[in-house]
Amino acid sequence: MFYCALSGEAPVEPVVSAKSGKVYERRLIIKYIAENGTDPLSGDKLEESDLIPIKASPQSAPPRPPSLTSIPAILHTLQNEWDAAAIEKHALLQQHNSLRQELSNALYSLDAATRTIARLIRERDAAREALANIHATMGIAPSAPAAGDVEMNEDAGAAASEETLPATILAQIDETHQALSAARKKRKPPPGYATAADVKTFALKHTIPSLHSASPAGVNSLVVSRLNPTQFLTGGNDKVVQLYDRATDKVLATLKGHTKKINHVVLREKEGEPTLIASGGADKICKIWGYDSASSEYLPKSTIKSHKGEITGLAVHPTSTILTLASADRTFSIHDLSNFSQVYRSSPADEALSSLAIHPDGTLIAFGTPTSTIQIYDIRSGSVAASLTPPEATPFTVNTLSFSENGYHLLAPNSLNTVAVWDLRKQLTTKTFTFEGDPKVHSVRYDLSAQFLGVAGNFGLKVYAHKTWEEIGKFAAGDDVSDLAYGAEGKEIWSVGGREVKIWGLPA
């Protein structure tokens, strides 16, 4: 180990003087030569060319400074570092608490503003109605509304402003309602239908992996065919609709056309007519494909572009002749599946619509909203039949709804961590299911016999018995289940999470 003859410390870049043979730190001796021109020890004339570099071994390292060679010095250094870390953590905690307080105040202000706006809109509508009544009494023609009051797509045309459904479609709805409601009280599970006791024994029967693209991954909607129980339909984040046959493990159709993720898919299956596939997505459109028997393929039939917001709900009416869409633009629309034209459009609430479900008799439509309220709309009269508001003070989005098959109950999220069964006759909740942790409910679904109901979310899939409210099944534990469906005769329960579809049923 060398030491600099000037500083007495180990040099970082050592050189030796050809005049005196002493070792110096290069930067120090060069500075000395520039000022004096001599060797600092011998006094001989010295130039930079007289300095010979010393190549030190790469394994050698300079000794630690004296300030770090004693235990007290090391402890003092560690204590300083610990104190600095503690002070920094305290500052971060203070900043975190401050941000939480600001966010809480902002959310409270937003909630108050939303409620105030809703109240003002109701008062405005009441004032407009009163003014219209006065005009009618005085014989004054009402003035045309301002152009910016109602937002409609240009291509919606006159159909968007229709106040009632066409008489032919109303007749179909009334006929279906009479046929289905007449037997409601006598509805019983079909012979051979699965019971709650059967569901308790369900086990995993089949897994279909790698559905849809891995980037972006995620399947958002699942529908099982009623006429071909081995076939099912899915829509995913990869903008693709897939029709799959689990019996052969083959994709029957891959349907493209969306530019953003697909939120909902439905099948229209009617005896004597071609099967239709419909999908609604975040790109504000609904795509419809029809089965062509000549080519044995699904061909594009129509693209519905009548909404200005994301499609948040999609359902085929029990008549199988019309399709209903709900949108975040605060409106819903009804389309004739014979020619795919829009026949009705309305706004049941002065806020975005976040979900949709059609009553099994076909006369009522339920809409969820981002402010916790559920609006039930009478499709025949064109008015809101009921408004259900949970007691939860914190607003949440009602992102999924399901009517029971007998039409008496509605299953829907009731707060951030609960799901409730509403009795539509009393407009009160009959039962509330609570989920622990930080639950996120993605889908709720009654089975066709109204014997049991399923709730899918980031906690997996849970199935409960109707009336007794007993938990009779817990499936896909640990999975983030985005949707569920029931198989033929209720003997299977299907779940979809990520890119996998899992089928649960009676053990072999």
Q: Give dist(CA 112, CA 110) in Å, integer.
A: 5
In CATH, the number for domain 14-63 is 3.30.40.10
Residue 467 burial (CB < 10 Å; 0-12/13-18/19+)? middle
According to the model, what pLDDT value does residue 456 have? 96
Residue 371 has pLDDT above 50, yes or no: yes
According to the model, what pLDDT value does residue 216 have? 87
Q: Beta strand pairing status for 452-457 and 460-465? A: antiparallel
Residue 289 has pLDDT above 50, yes or no: yes
Residues 155-177, mean pLDDT to the nearest whole number: 71
Residue 152 has pLDDT above 70, yes or no: no
Between 127 and 58, residue with greater pLDDT: 127
According to the model, what pLDDT value does residue 65 have? 66
Between 399 and 75, residue with greater pLDDT: 399
What is the maximum alpha-carbon separation in the chain?
A: 122
pLDDT in tens, 295-304: 989 999 999 9
According to the model, what pLDDT value does residue 58 have? 55
Residue written as tokens 């937002």? 151
Confidence of residue 363 (pLDDT cuts 50, 70, 90): very high
Q: What percent of the chain stands above pLDDT 70?
A: 91
pLDDT in tens, 214-245: 888 889 999 999 999 999 999 999 999 999 99
Topology of the domain covering 166-505:
Methylamine Dehydrogenase; Chain H (2.130.10)
pLDDT in tens, 177-190: 888 887 766 677 88
**45 secondary structure, DSSP code:** B
pLDDT in tens, 438-480: 899 999 999 998 899 999 999 999 999 999 999 999 998 888 9
pLDDT in tens, 325-357: 999 999 999 999 999 999 999 888 888 999 999
β-bridge mates for residue 388, sequence order: 374
According to the model, what pLDDT value does residue 147 have? 37
Ranges of each domain in the chain:
14-63, 166-505
Answer yes or no: same fold for 14-63 and 166-505: no
Residues 89-97, mean pLDDT to the nearest whole number: 93
Per-residue buried b or exposed e for 374-399, using 16+ beta carbons within 10 Å of the residue's own CB: bbbbebeeeeebeebebeeeebbbbb
Between 136 and 448, residue with greater pLDDT: 448
- CB of 345 closer than 8 Å to CB of 163: no
According to the model, what pLDDT value does residue 474 have? 95
Residue written as tokens 């032919």? 168
According to the model, what pLDDT value does residue 61 have? 61
According to the model, what pLDDT value does residue 132 have? 75
**38 secondary structure, DSSP code:** B
pLDDT in tens, 24-58: 999 999 999 998 989 988 888 998 888 999 886 65
Sequence-separated contacts (24+) of 475-481 with Cβ below 8 Å: 475/202, 475/204, 475/502, 475/504, 476/502, 480/440, 480/442, 481/442, 481/443, 481/456, 481/457
According to the model, what pLDDT value does residue 217 have? 86
